Amino acid sequence: MKIQFIIVGWHFDAYPEFIDQLIDVNKDNDIIDVFWSCHKEPSNKVKENFDYKLFPNLGLEDGAYQQALDYLNISDDTILFLMHDDLVIKDWDFINVCLEGLDKGYKVIGNGINYPLLLDPNEIKRENQRYIDFVKDECKYLFDSPLDCYTIRESFMCIERGVLRQIGDFEVIWEDPTAKGEGPGGIGNTQQSLLGYKLTKVLGKDKITYLSNTYQDSKYLFECARGTMEGWKK
């Protein structure tokens, strides 16, 4: 078994405990590799302790994940943990829990449950463009009708590389998220919805699960909101 952590690098030393814990995981476990996909210059602690690459700041987390996947040579049977760097890790046993979930037949695991979505590919989403207009050509055939989707908050996701490849990887809007002044939610929510559509359409709702039924939180992890700990309870 091989496990690949891909960390979206943005906040860095704002969450030093997370980095320190990752250093221990990276050193003490032969089956786990940690790679930082950075959208700004990483901190010295990241540079000194991890493999990393600074990529153009395009596409938010989906862009960072896809840039890393295109850069790294990852086999299809590798288990991916795709994570933001502003997570609070309460219990590192989430790794074992996710592995057990995959063994039970789930294909993708999120942290706290996320909102379901009825997505119509022809609905106007942003800039007078439809959802389907943001889908790469080779995946447009999937978006053939409205679909009640399960979605995953992309600050944490566990999935096999081959399964992600099966659905055609991420639907990245290759834009600077700050260029048009709409905030990260502009392209981020669209990308999350498109991924949810593909996960639901290709894998089925019964293959998607979460570590808890609480939005943004579980007994294992708390997902900060763009670097803030709003909603955090110890």
CATH classification of the domain holding 93: 3.90.550
- Amino acid in the structure at residue 141: Y
Residue 47 near residue 77, CB atoms below 8 Å: no
Domain that holds residue 72: 3-223
pTM beyond cutoff 0.85: yes
- For 62-119, the pLDDT digits (tens) are 999 999 999 999 999 999 999 999 899 999 999 999 999 999 999 999 999 998 999 9
Assigned domain for 124 exists? yes
DSSP 3-state helix, strand, coil percentages of the chain (rounded to 5)? 35, 25, 40
Residue 126 has pLDDT above 90, yes or no: no
The answer to whether residue 229 is domain-embedded is: no
Q: How many domains does the chain have?
A: 1
